[in-house]
Structure 1
Amino acid sequence: MNLRKKLYIIVFYANTRSGRLFDQALLWAILISVLTVLLESVASLDEQYGAVFERVEWFFTLLFTFEYFLRIYISPTPRKYIFSFWGIIDFLAAVPLYLSLFYPGTQFLFVIRFLRFLRVFRVMKLARFTSEAKALSVALRSSMYKITIFFTSILILVLLLGTLMYVVEGKGEGFDSIPESIYWAIITITTVGYGDLVPQTSLGKFISSFVMIIGYAIIAVPTGIVTSEMSKNRTEKSVCRQCDHSNPEGARYCNHCGEKL
């Protein structure tokens, strides 16, 4: 086996000891580099340790740049890797500090590197978490039409409430336009309530109270829809939590890996 093939197995696979060690070292490098950027954003720390932070950033930038080009070199299909999800993330992980030479401040985009931390699912073989993420994705797709109808209804509701408040409060109370009033309706119905736009009339306060009450009920609807779909999919298909294999209804053990359902 030539060196290029050996490097390919180490870099792209985590099912060997050397591959796991490489990925674990990479995860630590990602964590330390992101932590460095977070600390640098603190003015007092940057003033005292700015030079150290800069050297650390350059070290990891050169490291990730070398790793990116290494992956391109050892990949059997370099073009496919470059335009893949991980290829794009690996590229973005190395770019920010170079951009900061022309556009100061862009080095803080280093936090993009934290997306690479998703490799932990592969390194630690957390199949159960991957399976649950897939189950959530299936549930979201299954409930997409219901959620779309729900959000369309909410959109119509905030349009009506915003227009109503514009008529009730008038321009003198801060509701200077229908879009401004719609903004108030959105932050009120979501129970955020920044307080920068508040009704002053008695009727306006009554409407506001009504909107806040129905807001609490509305928040629970999307959660209920998705939860219902997840429960239905899990019951109907008896999906194995370990290998994500669909089994016949009523099965007690997975007929693919033997895991208890």
Structure 2
Amino acid sequence: MRQRLYNLLNGDEGLAMWCGRVLTVLIIASLLPLCFKESSPILETIEYGCVLVFIVEYLARWVTADLKLRKGALSFVIYPFTPMAIIDLLSILPVFNALNDALRTLRVLRLFRALRAFKLIRYSKSASAIAAVFEKQWEALLAVLCLAICYILVSALVIFNVEPETFNTFFDAVYWAVVSLTTVGYGDLYPSSDVGRAIAMISSLMGVAVVALPSGIITAGMLDELRGDGGMNDES
């Protein structure tokens, strides 16, 4: 029985394929209430109906965790802490009224609902391929992330001390450094002195290089992933 349930949730043929399509439609439907500021009986029905299915899906995946993780009884302990299981749990939590009252003031409620979009990763081959790239290239991406964070903090520290009259707090400087690093440039905070502008130019130029690094890593990983899938298809 559990094996059939596992095949239904994780397979890609026959009934399992249709199950994935139905869940995909439900995930998209559950995002519709987020497109409206005010609720309505129809939107609430969609919300509760979809969440009920998501709860059943979450429990079914938990019950069959040992078949997926293959670590015996320990699988049932590990599964709730896997990335997709965390997304599944956070996406169904807003339906409980007690949490609604606690999180409404923080506007976290709608954020948790928006996480349902990430559930589509399970049912999209393209998204699964990208997820596989991140899993395989996580060390290189983590190194680039650390480099970017260090550069942001150093840039923020320099500009904060060069123009204290423009940046009231260190957080303002960090915000400016992130915007400069990504070459977005909102224009709400900007240096006014010659030294500050020189630092901004250097930061923007470095930002192009730092932002390009993860793009190259992901592109190379994606090409390798596609070649691997192509090789599998040729062999079959």
Fold in common (TM above 0.5): yes
Q: Is the 8 A contact 2:177 2:203 kept in 1?
A: no
The equivalent of 2:21 in structure 1 is: 24
Q: Cα distance, 1:198 vs. partner?
A: 5.6
Q: Cα distance, 1:26 vs. partner?
A: 0.6
The equivalent of 1:91 in structure 2 is: 89
Which one has the bigger helix percentage?
2
- Alignment of 1:215 onto 2:217: no
The equivalent of 1:186 in structure 2 is: 177
Q: Is the 8 A contact 1:34 1:111 kept in 2?
A: yes
- Greater radius of gyration (CA): 1
The equivalent of 1:241 in structure 2 is: 226
Q: Cα distance, 1:158 vs. partner?
A: 3.0
Aligned partners of 2:213, 2:10: CA distance in 1, in Å?
38
The equivalent of 2:59 in structure 1 is: 69
Q: 1:180 to 1:63 in 2, by over 3 A?
A: closer
Q: 1:162-216: CA deviations, max 9, x gaps?
A: 21222xxx5xxx5556x377357526734555555566xxxx4323432343233
Over the matched positions of the two proteins, sequence identity in percent amounts to 18
The equivalent of 1:165 in structure 2 is: 163
Q: Is the 8 A contact 2:121 2:127 kept in 1?
A: no
Q: Cα distance, 1:98 vs. partner?
A: 1.0
**Which residues of structure 1 form unaligned runs of 5+?**
245-252
Q: Is the 8 A contact 1:92 1:112 kept in 2?
A: yes
TM-score by length of 1: 0.64
Moved more, 93-102 or 223-232: 223-232
The equivalent of 1:248 in structure 2 is: none
Aligned length: 221
Question: 3-state DSSP class of the match of 1:15?
Answer: coil
Q: Cα distance, 1:115 vs. partner?
A: 1.7
* Amino acid corresponding to residue 54 of structure 2 in structure 1: F
The equivalent of 2:5 in structure 1 is: 7
Aligned partners of 2:175, 2:116: CA distance in 1, in Å?
36
Aligned partners of 1:73, 1:31: CA distance in 2, in Å?
25
* Amino acid corresponding to residue 189 of structure 1 in structure 2: S
* Amino acid corresponding to residue 152 of structure 1 in structure 2: C
Q: 1:6 to 1:31 in 2, by over 3 A?
A: same
TM-score by length of 2: 0.69
Moved more, 87-96 or 68-77: 68-77
Q: Cα distance, 1:15 vs. partner?
A: 2.9
The equivalent of 2:69 in structure 1 is: none
Q: 1:56-83: CA deviations, max 9, x gaps?
A: 2122222222333344445556725444
Q: Is the 8 A contact 2:133 2:225 kept in 1?
A: no
Q: 1:6-49: CA deviations, max 9, x gaps?
A: 33321x322330001011101100110112x21332x4xx4xxx
**Which residues of structure 2 form unaligned runs of 5+?**
67-72
Alignment of 1:17-56 (within 5 A): 17-35=14-32, 37-41=33-37, 43=38, 46=39, 50-56=40-46
